[in-house]
Amino acid sequence: MAFWGQMSAFGRAQLRLTTAAKKGLGDPVLAELVVLRASQLNRCAFCIDMHVKNLHEAGVEPRRIDLLPAWEETGDLYTAKERAALALTEAVTVLTDGFVPDDVYATAAAHFDETELAHLLAVIVAINNWNRVNVTIRQPPGEEL
């Protein structure tokens, strides 16, 4: 897409941020679940397509991918740590009340050490950046950036 070509410095910086955040989180499947959930909330078809493919390639059970939009209703399909990360992802992505609820943050902090929590927040912020640009420019799914 022309936008990414014109903004190559931005795109490269964004990619470095995303890569570092995911690596620091230390769990590639968790990182992909988080970015997929944020992308679903932001209705970013390009990112949804990419992250569903990534999860399939990682061997994640299709049911865990299919039911992600309703993760709160799935019993033990997602671990407590994944559920805490998904709740934080939704709170940061949507910010309905203008802030992340204290209980959501406290639950995430109970499941992640300080470094992991910082990387989790960085992953959430990074995907929201990607989503907002891709939704704005109507980046079609399946195309190269």
Phi and psi (nearest 5°) for 106? -65, -40
What's the predicted TM-score (pTM) here?
0.93
Dump pLDDT digits (tens) for 55-78: 999 999 999 999 999 999 999 999
Spell out the residues 6+ positions from residue 56 whose beta carbon is closer than 8 angstroms to its own: 62, 65
Dump pLDDT digits (tens) for 21-53: 999 999 999 999 999 999 999 999 999 999 999
Query: Hey, what domains does the chain have and what are their CATH numbers?
Result: 26-136 (1.20.1290.10)
Distance CA 118, CA 100 (A): 15
